[in-house]
Amino acid sequence: MNSSPPGIPSRRLDKPPQARLWILTIIGALVAAVLLNFVLGFFIAGWNYPKTPIRTIRQLTEGTTTSHFLADGFGTYGNRLTGNPPAPNAPIVILLGDSHLVQDAVPDSDTMGAVIERQSRADGKPVNIRQYGWYSTAAPTYIANAPLLLKSFDPKLVVVVLNSTDFAREALTEGWYWQMRINPDLTFRLVDVRTPEGTGRLAQVRDFVGRSPLMLSLRRRAVLIFLAGDEAPLPPRPAADHAPDPIQAQVPLVIPASVRGLKTAYGARLLIAYTPFCRQTCDPAPDEGEARLLDACRTEAVNCISTRADMVAEMQSTHHLLRGFHNTAPGEGHLNRFGLQAVGTAIWRRISSELP
């Protein structure tokens, strides 16, 4: 049956060739990827490219911010910059810690070191802060880096910022850089678990990923998914598989061995600052690890503080959450600018009395 209007000959509409459809699809996907890569460049940047002395990181995992690092070989990325100009002839204070010192979720001016620098200059006792953070690490990494840090910068003081994650297997088997094996008498052996620097094709792939905001974003998302999978509870093993765990037996020794090791590494320049995990609320009473840390500090005659009182006071007076960002769960994740302000204030109050 001819369905064409009268006087118009019927014609069969030919479909485009299948190969042409594939070509158009591929071109469309490439154009979309290029445009997305361009747009993401305003929000995402990686440390390893471009390889200038000062590196830039942009991310939107926690908050949406840009951070800067002086690539000097310490920490995961280098010296976390504060955004403040150096004070001439001022003593150097080094801050060491884990991802809370990397602080790539806040701008330079909100970092712990920036808070301390501003308060020191307002009080007429200016200091220059160098702050180094390593992802997923604990006291063994800070101990291992001590000789070269002291030789390179001759700091007036060294502040090691610890939290409860530093008091268990992260120091023994889960730390990314250095681990420790502890003897019953608290002597220990450092274990180097650093990943060798990539060379050849691996380095080329890493540099390529660092050049592309889209590829870098996909890589970061994959890491988050991988880490989230690691947090899932493991199924219980059958009773027949239960065997003594020599590492678990060392967990109670982590705190006293860490305090003793840090004292040996940094001597009288050392201050240990404990930061509790204050989420939606903050208990004024110390947690178990905090109490044991302060006991170990008294035993070893090491200067230690807890920033709990300052964090509780900040939450009670301003009703600010000290952790979390606009794109995270409330009170979860790393310290935000309010938390870093409270911790920096507590540290400065403690060390200011030791400066002329």
Domain ranges of the chain: 65-194+247-354
Give dist(CA 321, CA 334) in Å, integer.
11
Q: Give the fold, CATH level 3, of 65-194+247-354.
A: Rossmann fold (3.40.50)
pLDDT-above-90 percentage for the chain: 53
17 sits in the region (left: phi over 0; alpha: psi -120 to 50; else beta) called beta
* 40: alpha, beta or left? (left if phi > 0; alpha if psi -120 to 50): alpha
Q: Once rounded to an integer, what is the mean pLDDT over residues 250-270?
A: 94
- Contact yes or no for 290/276 (Cβ under 8 A): yes
Name the more confident of 142 and 334. 142
Return the amino acid letter for 339: G
**Are 323 and 329 contacting, i.e. CB atoms less than 8 angstroms apart?**
no
What was the pLDDT predicted at 199? Answer: 60
Note the pLDDT of residue 224: 59
| pLDDT tens sequence across 99-155 | 899 998 899 999 999 999 999 999 999 999 999 999 999 999 999 999 999 999 999
Residue 13 reports pLDDT greater than 60: no
pLDDT value at position 9? 56
Q: Can you tell me which residue has the tokens 């001016």?
A: 109
Asked whether the beta carbons of 198 and 20 are under 8 A apart, the reply is no
The H or E element containing residue 79 is strand 79-80
Q: How buried is 153 (Cβ within 10 angstroms: 0-12 exposed, 13-18 middle, 19+ buried)?
A: middle
* Phi then psi dihedrals of residue 163, to 5 deg: -145, 180
Q: Could you read off the pLDDT of 299-322 as tens digits, one per residue?
A: 999 999 999 999 999 999 999 999
Confidence of residue 5 (pLDDT cuts 50, 70, 90): low
Region of 349 (left: φ > 0; alpha: ψ -120 to 50; beta: rest) is: alpha
**Average pLDDT, integer, range 3-25:** 66
Tokens standing for 305? 């503080």
Please check the confidence at residue 18 and state whether its pLDDT lies above 90: no
pLDDT tens-digit map of 55-107: 888 877 787 888 899 999 899 999 999 999 999 999 999 999 998 999 988 99
Q: What is the pLDDT of residues 181-220, one digit of tens each?
A: 999 999 999 999 988 776 666 666 666 666 766 666 666 6
- pLDDT confidence of 35, banded at 50, 70, 90? confident
221: exposed, middle or buried (Cβ count in 10 Å: 0-12, 13-18, 19+): exposed
* Helix axes of 254-266 and 288-300: crossing angle, nearest 10 degrees: 40
pLDDT at 159: 97
Which position has the token pair 């000290």?
322
Distance separating the N- and C-terminal Cα atoms of the chain: 102
C-alpha 36/C-alpha 328 separation (Å) is: 23
CB atoms within 10 A of CB 286: 16
Q: For residue 145, report the phi and psi dihedrals to the nearest 5 degrees.
A: -90, -5
pLDDT for the residue 233:
44
Q: Name which of 153-162, 163-172, 257-266 the model is least confident about.
A: 163-172
What does the pLDDT read at residue 188? 92
Q: Model confidence at 229, in pLDDT bands (50, 70, 90)?
A: very low
φ, ψ dihedrals at 159, nearest 5° = -105, 120
